[in-house]
Structure formats: C-alpha cells, structure tokens
Structure 1
C-alpha cells in the first residue's frame, strides 16, 4: 500500500526537524558544560574556591559567599576573562563586615613658655571650644594654644572623663610639662623649679588622684647650686656623722657614702647632689679626707670648695698626726689644699674666752647675750638680727668688752645666719668654735648651716651642728589630709551650727565666727574637691525645701569666697528634705535635719556621664537643676517667695541653724 504523497513529505520534514532539535539541544548542553568547566577551573586557579559556577544558555551564573568585596570583584573579573563579561551574572554574597572597634582615644598636651599644643584623638561629642578656652586661660592671654586634635564618633570609655579632668587640673600647676591622657591613665613628665616644689606637687597629685585612675609621674627638679661646695664629717667614738655632704653626681655620692659606711656612718644620712663642685676629683678628695679621720681615730674634717680643714682631738699622738697628714696630702688630687690642726692643752690653765649666745624660741622670739666689742658692733649686730628675725622679736642683753677678737662681728653674724635656719634652738660663738643646736622642719637644714659656717668663717675653723628634724615643723608634712580637713570642719559645727535668717537663705550675724574658723581650716587644707550640702526637714512643700537648701548652701559658698578661700573646686548643692538624719516627727529631729554638711567629692560619687551632655574633658554639669535655677536667674530665694507653711516651719529653728 502506497502512502499519499503529501503525508510522505510532511513526515520527512517532521523527522528532519526532530533530528535538528536533538542536535541543537546536544550542542547547547556541550557548550554549557564546557563554559561552566572553564570558568570553574579559572576560579580555582585563582584560589577562589568559595565561588560556584553554573551555565544556563549563554549566561554564566556565579554564586557563593565572598570573604571580602575585593574577592567578589576578582571572581567577576576572572569569569569575564573566559566569557563575555556581559554574560556573567553576579549572584554572589559578601561576608558581613564585623563592627569596627572603637578607637583608643588619647591626647598629648605639651606646655612651655610659648603656649600649649594639643595632639591626639578625642570624642566627637566633646566640647572642643570649652577646652580651648580653658587652656587659653591657663596659658595666658599672649600665649598660643595650638589645636591639632582629630575627632571620632564612638562611645566614650568610662575612664576618659576623670583622666581628662585630672590632667587639665594638673596642667595649671605645670608650666613646663608633657601630659599624656588615655582612658583610666594619665602620664605626666614635667620640670619644677625646686626640690621643695617637686615634693609638694607629688603630694598634691597623690591626694587629688581619683579612684581607679593610674598616674605615671615623672617630675624633675634642677640641681641646687651649692656655695660653697661642702662636706663636713665628725668621727666620735667609732661613729661617723655628716653635718653636710655634697656631691656632683650620683656616682660621686655613692663613692663617698661607701667610704663613710666603712668608717661607721650613721644610718639614714645622705649627700645632696648639686652644682658648684670645684673639681671633678671631689669624690676622691672626700674619700682621702675620710680615710685620714679613720686612721686618726676621731676628729672632724671639713671640705669647703678646694680647702680641707682637719681637726683632731686634743692629746692625739703627734707622730701619728704627722704621718697621717703627710699621707693624706700625697693622696689628695691637685687643687685641694689641706690645713691640719692638732690642739695643744694649756698646762697653765684655761684663759677666759669671749662668748656670744643667741637663743630662738618656738614662738620666734630671739634673745642675744654675751660679749661684743663696742657700741658700733652692738648696733650692727642688733640691726642684723632684726633683719633676720623681725625687729619686734629681738631682745638684746649683750655686754661690751675689749677682749674679743678682731673678727668677732663676722663670727657672730655667721652664727645668727645659722640660727635663722632653725625653727627653734641656740648658737654659741667662741673665738675658736661655733656650736649650733636646735630643731627644724627642713631636712636640708644641717647641710645649709654647715655651708653658711664654712663660707663665713673660712677654712680651719671648728664648729659643731646638732640639729634634729621634726616632721611636725615641716610645712609640707604638716598639710592635713582631705579627711582630716573634713573632720576639723565637723568639729567646728559640733556645738553650734551655721545659722540663717528665719525662712531665708541669708546667713545671720551668729554665723560669722563659725565661718571664720572654717576659713582658717580650709586655708591650711588648700584646694579640696568639696561639696557644700544644704538640708532641711520635711515640713513645707518639697520644692520649696529644695530651693531653700540650695540657696543656703550657695550662701555658705559665697561667704567662704568672701573670706578669700579658693573655692574653684567647691560645689554648692541643696538636697531639701531628701536625706534626713533624725526623725522629722519631733522638734529635736527636725532641728537636726536642718543643717549644712561638708562632703568630699570622690570618683565613686560622681554621676554617670550622659554621652549627649559630655564636655571635652568628660565632666558633667555639677549643678543640680535647682542650683542652676538659683544661680542663672539671679533671683535668690526670698522669704516672701516661700509659702506660709514653709516659712512657718523654719521660724524659731533657723536662728540657731
């Protein structure tokens, strides 16, 4: 049976189409697989093993998670190098970038005679203008404040604020300094004008250091100029002591002290390091002189610049004396000259000698007695003493005598100079000896007295110094601690409280003696971080009590300021009825609750810092809302402004409060 012609033709074309489709499909599959394999191989070769490839038609799709945006871009470029870049479809992701760590805020503050420089990174929300204004005030109107600071918008670390406050306060006392500030840490490198100032600042910074803040302190002081450069040693019964000891370097000091220790130096004695040494061989000359003392078994040796005076006890064997003196002269470096004295006992008896005695009482009264040569000498010595001790403090009981040496006035004035270095004591002057005894609040008094006597009396002169240092007389050591200051203020109020006009924040006349006593205490204490707190009882409206307590605290602050007390570190704050210390249900309790208290501001008591209200130094506004209203309005709380109930509850109690 034969098929119709049309059906045959149609069948032929259908079979050809099916065959063509099959061939095209197979060809497309081969191309996709080839493209996918080529791109994947290229990615693997580049180390992009995280990327996956699949082809669909003429397009190549990239998937996977790239570690970085750069890795993602590299994958796209690699695929684009195999096939047309327009056919590469990016379905890749990038790993989430970890949150950036906040920067380490730090600030370098450099201050010298030219001005102040600021270098570092500070929080963006800091009050930059306020800091520059404060530092301009510190540096002076004509000095320059250079601002090289950068800012960053990150949360402020908890220790940044107290570190900034402490650093800015310290900078005011350090005109030549570098201060580094970081969270919870302040490093200070500075130069001071003297050892005394260095010790004072070290104590001040230690006292004011906030809790938890690390302070690295490196204060230096210039070496004092010692004139004359002096060493005086006395060897008595196997014990050596220094009346004065000077050295030009630490190495020289160690050399001298080591030699003295072998002879029997008393514990706790030291040498002052200073300028003015007459020769680099000072330590060698000192050791030679000390060795001479040891060989002689006693006596005193005094080095005054290049002059050396050696005095031995009466009765020392003359042969031993001559041998030791000769040996010492050979051991001394060039420039140094030795004058040795061997006292000879007078077999004919002791001859009356001139004597002058001056005594200084702890109250500062000075009495002179003994002998002077003539009326001119007496007038000169009296004027000299009045210049040293005050014209009203000198009592002259001297006698005139012709039997005094020609150099007597010089010896007496040297003795008065030595006595002026003491808080109390006496000086005895004879033709061949000067004795100084007493008490002092200066640890360097013995060395200073020795230098005075060596310079004024000259070489070969004998003198002795018996001066005791007492810490209670030291003006630096006697500064009370902040806690002791608060205790003293509390004792002043223990019997009588600070009193006000009834129903008012105005101090009454009875408050003046109490505030005078407190001003004396605060003047001795120096600057304190002090909060003056006002408190009331619970009668009357709470808002009126708060305003009244704030006004009273502010009145006390103003009264202390009027008494010339430095109140820059004081804060006046009213608490109203919030902190009772007794039962408000009784009149005695209400009387106790109406009070003024003085409280130290410590780091632990500071309020949390609000990032939106922080200043550059991180310090929060110390004024309460009530205080701000009272101070900024200029209208103090008035008795008439209080309601009748509040005014009534204060009347009768405030005349004692």
Structure 2
C-alpha cells in the first residue's frame, strides 16, 4: 500500500530537519571545543594559567583574577589572536592593589660619656617626645641627639616591649650600644670588671620580658693599672705577693716562674692590664725577685720604672752590696733601683713616734697617736670623716713636735688605704706604714700596694697583712636561674605531671608536683621561663599542637593560681614536632607526652656584628636553649 503523498512529504521533511539539527549541534560543539582549546593553549603559552576559558556557542568567555590590569589586558590580547575579538567576552577580575609591605622598624641607641644618640626608623604612632624624655632622665648632664625617622605604619608586634626594655637596660649601662627591633634587642656594652659583667648579664636577663629575644655582648677589658705595681716579700714563712701586674700572659708566666724559684708559698696570679712602663717589665721583675731571694729576705717593690729593694734586718752587708751591684748592672736602662739595708737595732734605741687608726667591721674608726700641729689634726679629722662618714670617726690624737716632714703624707696615704678595707688597723711610724685587715675584694691587696707605693714615693717601706674573705650572702639574695632549673629537674626526676586523657586538666595525683615546682619558683623571683607542652605523634598534627598549647597554658594558670609572679613566664605548645623518643612504641610515646620548663637565655652577639646587622637576622620564637629539665604525663594516650 502506498503512503499518501502528503504523509510522505511530511516524513521526508521531518527526517531532514532532524538530520540538520544533529549536524548543527555537532558543528556548534566542534566550534566551541576548538575555540576553547586554541584560546586555552594561547593563554598557557603566555603564562596565564590563572585564567579560565569556556565557550558558549561562538562566544569565548574568560574568567579568573588577574594580578593587575596589564596582565588582564595581555590575556585578552592572547585570546584575540586565536578567535575574533568580538567573540571574546571579558569577565576577568583584577586583584585589589595590596598595600606596600611595612618597613623594618629599628632603633639603635648609643650611650657614652659624651651623651646619648638615637638613630633608626620608628612608627609614626610612637610617642617620640615621651621616648626622648625617658632618655633625658637617664642623665640630665649630657645631651640626647634625636636622629630618628618615622613611617606611617602600625606598630608591629613586640615593638613596645623592645623599646621599653632597651631604655630600662640603658639605665644600668653608662657605656653601651643597644639595637631594638620588634621582638628583639641586642646589647653591646663594656663593664669595669668581670664581676660587674656577670652581675649585669644576670640583671639584664631577669629584666627581659619572656616574649622578647635578647642578645648580650658585655666585655670586661683589661684595666689600666696606675702605677704599674709589683711587690714581693720573703719572710720566715716563704715568699708571697702583695701585688703583681703584667702586660700579657707570657709576662705573667715569667714573673710567676721567678717567684716560684724564690720560694712562692702559695698559688698566685698576676693582674693583666695596660700601663706597663717598658716591654722589659717582666725581665726587670724577675731579676729583682731573684736578687731578693739571693739576699735571703725582705721586700722588693716595682712602681712603674722605680724599684725599691729593702733587705731584712740582719742581712750581711757584703752580700747585700754584691747582689745590689749585680742587679743594677743587669736591669734594663729605664729602671732605677733604690736599695735599703736597715741598720741593726740597739737596746737603748728610743721608741719612734706613732700614729694609729682602727676600723671595726661596723665601720667605726678610731684615730690615736701624734700629729705635728693643730692644722694637721683638723686636716686628718676632716679627711677621715669624708672617707668613712662623719658619724663614724672618733679622733684622739695629740700634738707632738719634731715629727718627720713627710708625716702628713704618710698618715693620709695610710688612711686612704685603710678605707679600702672592710675592717683593719693602720700604724704609721717614721720608717714604716703597716696596714692589716680584711677585704671582700681579692684585688684590694694589689690596689693598696700600688696606692702606697705611689703616695709614699721611692725607697719608702710599708707592710701589708690583708686577708681576703668572701662577703656573706645577703639573706634576700635570689638563687641563680640555673640553680632553679636544677631544682625543678630534681623534682621532675622522681615524679611526673599527668593530665586527664585527651584534655588539659591536670590529674589530681600531679598537683603535689605542681606545688613543689611552685615553691621553687616562688623563691627564684622573676626568671625568664618558658613552659613547653609536647605530645606524641598519634592523632592529627593540628590537634596535637592545640592540645600541647592548652596543657602548657594550664600549667601557667596553675602557677598563677598559687600566687607565683608569672610576668616573665610564657607558655608555648610544640605539639609533636620535638620528640625525645621513638613514637613507634608505647614507652616512647609516653616519654614524648611531657611538660618542659626551660630558661630563656640571651643569645650571643659577635663582636663583628653591628647592631643593625643583628636586627636583620630572622626571628624564630622557637629558639630556646635545650636543657634536660622535663616532665612527662602518665596517661596512656593523648586522644
């Protein structure tokens, strides 16, 4: 049966339309894919991998965020080289312009006898007038130079702490360079002695906030010794030094070796310093000491280039003349020798005039004996009151005629020497100045010997019997931070700080441990301490870090609750980043779950590093010196 003509035509039309529709759809898809592929390839070749491309018929739509307007325009140009520009639809965004990075703020403060100067770049919000006012109050007699520049950026974290600490440190340092930047202060200073250096380091370390990194370079240079003095004595008990100076290590070894050959009875070390009158000083000292030993006894004093040799009473005159002659011939040209042979005493010899002064441990001074006239008595009394305190002096001297011409000099020199002792006695005669007593400074004996040698002059005899005793420790002296650390370690060696499983709550059986540590810290005062929390590697790293921080903070809060001053403490969680044992075993994991108490120690500053160079070093808040002071918690797991 044949189809009607109308139906046949309609069927052919519908089939043709379907074929055309399929062909058109295929063509459109092909054009879209081709356009998208070619544009994507062109963008990738130009380095625009940030741009996204999708086709919508003949339209090619570009999306994404360009870093700047020039990059966006370059991407449009690259797309237009592959397809007609009228087909390119720009829907790209341009990233907002970021602010310029804040500059590195830093301030370098230099203080010396000439004044104080400040140079550097500080935030505009810094109260510049208040800062200069604080510096002016350090020493109103010297000028303060303001060489700082400002930048209108917010104060970085740690800036205020650094500036406050730098000014506070400068109050203790009359000669120093301090470089301050956010979270970091570098101090380079000079101390007058090794003892002062150690004291400054301790005070500066205690005063620093726990969040602040500090670097200390405090040097104690060689002292200038004036006069350059050596005094050696030989008596029935052997040889001993009253004072010894040398210009270097080799010179000191030469002098000590000569003294040991001459019967040095105890160990002694010479003070190394500046001011030697001749590079041949050790040669002259060694020759003089050997000459004294050959005579058999007495004393030899070197004060700069003057040498005074006093033989013991009863020395053979022939031996004395021979040894002195040989010594004069052997000494370097710059040195002058004064040799004294005391005359033998006679039974009918009258007693010499005498002046005496005593100083008690409480500081009371009594003066007795002879003075030449009323003027000298008033002068001695005034000098003593100025040296010892007007309420501490009692004068009971009497006026006597026919005293030696140098009597005033001998009395005043002796009183000045007595003022250097904690307690002692002074006896002045025409032939000798005798000083005995106790000092708390081991350098006093050498200082007094140099003082008397300089004040009394050449060929003058004096005798010293000065004993060094360490001063008693003050009752309220704080223990050294290292001692506190050791005591905490002893507590932790026998017990552990444990927490409830998976929490920052301290286990009840660990509270006694915290109490013991709190008692130690209460005695230690403001030490810089970091309380660290650590976990094992079980669980997610982020969760472990949060748990360790919470536990360290929990210990800090417990100490605060026990009224421990914690302003110089900080709590830091390190998570699983610092294991001390293998995490593959339960024993190792338990060791890794711990609380550590560590001192925050100052960093070293090399002498070749300038302050501003030091500030360029990256700041790492995790830089804390390793110690063995640890505590582990006893729970089976963190999670």
Fold match, TM over 0.5?
A: yes
Q: Secondary structure at the match of 1:446?
A: helix
CA distance, structure 2, for counterparts of residue 316 and residue 333 of structure 1: 26
The match for 1:618 is none
The match for 2:567 is 603
Contact map agreement 2:118 2:147 (CA 8 A) in 1: yes
Asked if 1:148 is matched to 2:165, the reply is no
Cα displacement string for residues 217-272 of structure 1 (whole angstroms, at most 9, x for unaligned residues): 44568876654332212245675543233455677667656765776474465526
Between 349-358 and 457-466, report the one with greater CA deviation.
349-358
CA distance, structure 2, for counterparts of residue 82 and residue 296 of structure 1: 112
Cα displacement string for residues 496-519 of structure 1 (whole angstroms, at most 9, x for unaligned residues): xxxxxxxxxxxxxxxxxxxxxxxx
After TM superposition, give the deviation of residue 440 of structure 1 in Å.
3.8
Q: Which TM-score applies when normalising by structure 2?
A: 0.55
The match for 1:395 is 395
The match for 1:468 is 467
The match for 2:356 is 358
After TM superposition, give the deviation of residue 300 of structure 1 in Å.
2.4
Asked if 1:108 is matched to 2:103, the reply is no
After TM superposition, give the deviation of residue 382 of structure 1 in Å.
2.0
Contact map agreement 1:356 1:428 (CA 8 A) in 2: yes
Between 16-25 and 442-451, report the one with greater CA deviation.
16-25
Q: Secondary structure at the match of 1:603?
A: coil
The match for 1:188 is 187
Q: Any stretches of 5+ residues in structure 1 without a counterpart?
A: 1-13, 484-527, 530-598, 607-657
Asked if 1:436 is matched to 2:435, the reply is yes
CA distance, structure 1, for counterparts of residue 58 and residue 286 of structure 2: 101
Cα displacement string for residues 64-86 of structure 1 (whole angstroms, at most 9, x for unaligned residues): 89899998776555434545556
The match for 1:379 is 374
Q: Secondary structure at the match of 1:279?
A: coil
The match for 1:231 is 230
After TM superposition, give the deviation of residue 104 of structure 1 in Å.
7.5
Contact map agreement 2:105 2:120 (CA 8 A) in 1: no
The match for 2:120 is 119
CA distance, structure 2, for counterparts of residue 470 and residue 89 of structure 1: 93
Q: Which TM-score applies when normalising by structure 1?
A: 0.54
Contact map agreement 2:247 2:276 (CA 8 A) in 1: yes
* Gap change, CA 1:107 and 1:266, over 3 Å in 2: farther
Matches within 5 A, 1:152-191: 152-153=153-154, 156-157=157-158, 162-172=161-171, 174=173, 176-182=175-181, 185-190=184-189
Matches within 5 A, 1:442-591: 443-470=442-469, 472=471, 481=477
Q: Secondary structure at the match of 2:467?
A: strand
Contact map agreement 2:66 2:92 (CA 8 A) in 1: yes
Between 73-82 and 457-466, report the one with greater CA deviation.
73-82
Cα displacement string for residues 114-170 of structure 1 (whole angstroms, at most 9, x for unaligned residues): 554252455x8765664455445557597454442446447735xx65544333333
Contact map agreement 2:440 2:469 (CA 8 A) in 1: yes
Q: Secondary structure at the match of 2:232?
A: strand
Cα displacement string for residues 505-551 of structure 1 (whole angstroms, at most 9, x for unaligned residues): xxxxxxxxxxxxxxxxxxxxxxx99xxxxxxxxxxxxxxxxxxxxxx
Contact map agreement 1:354 1:430 (CA 8 A) in 2: yes
Contact map agreement 2:122 2:148 (CA 8 A) in 1: no
The match for 1:591 is none
The match for 1:337 is 336
Q: Any stretches of 5+ residues in structure 2 without a counterpart?
A: 1-13, 480-524, 527-562, 571-639
Contact map agreement 1:296 1:321 (CA 8 A) in 2: yes
Q: Secondary structure at the match of 1:452?
A: helix
Q: Secondary structure at the match of 1:415?
A: helix
* Gap change, CA 1:153 and 1:438, over 3 Å in 2: same
Matches within 5 A, 1:154-303: 156-157=157-158, 162-172=161-171, 174=173, 176-182=175-181, 185-190=184-189, 205=204, 208=207, 215-218=214-217, 226-236=225-235, 240-247=239-246, 256=255, 264=264, 266-267=266-267, 269-271=269-271, 273-274=273-274, 276-293=275-292, 298-303=297-302
* Gap change, CA 1:250 and 1:164, over 3 Å in 2: farther
* Gap change, CA 1:64 and 1:400, over 3 Å in 2: closer
* Gap change, CA 1:431 and 1:133, over 3 Å in 2: closer
Root-mean-square deviation (Å):
5.7
After TM superposition, give the deviation of residue 285 of structure 1 in Å.
3.2
CA distance, structure 1, for counterparts of residue 368 and residue 282 of structure 2: 39
CA distance, structure 1, for counterparts of residue 353 and residue 297 of structure 2: 26
The match for 1:426 is 425
Q: Secondary structure at the match of 1:233?
A: strand
Between 357-366 and 62-71, report the one with greater CA deviation.
62-71
Contact map agreement 2:111 2:175 (CA 8 A) in 1: yes
Contact map agreement 1:244 1:448 (CA 8 A) in 2: yes
Q: Secondary structure at the match of 2:334?
A: coil
After TM superposition, give the deviation of residue 437 of structure 1 in Å.
0.6
After TM superposition, give the deviation of residue 416 of structure 1 in Å.
3.8
Cα displacement string for residues 181-217 of structure 1 (whole angstroms, at most 9, x for unaligned residues): 3566543334679999878866765665556766544
* Gap change, CA 1:407 and 1:19, over 3 Å in 2: closer
Contact map agreement 2:121 2:148 (CA 8 A) in 1: no
CA distance, structure 1, for counterparts of residue 125 and residue 66 of structure 2: 36
* Gap change, CA 1:205 and 1:605, over 3 Å in 2: closer
Q: Secondary structure at the match of 1:460?
A: coil
After TM superposition, give the deviation of residue 356 of structure 1 in Å.
1.3
CA distance, structure 2, for counterparts of residue 457 and residue 383 of structure 1: 21
Contact map agreement 1:238 1:298 (CA 8 A) in 2: no
After TM superposition, give the deviation of residue 454 of structure 1 in Å.
1.3
Contact map agreement 1:43 1:75 (CA 8 A) in 2: yes
Between 264-273 and 229-238, report the one with greater CA deviation.
264-273
After TM superposition, give the deviation of residue 306 of structure 1 in Å.
0.7
The match for 1:310 is 309
Cα displacement string for residues 386-428 of structure 1 (whole angstroms, at most 9, x for unaligned residues): 12223883434558476x6565554444434433433432223
CA distance, structure 2, for counterparts of residue 79 and residue 265 of structure 1: 98
After TM superposition, give the deviation of residue 277 of structure 1 in Å.
3.8
After TM superposition, give the deviation of residue 436 of structure 1 in Å.
0.8
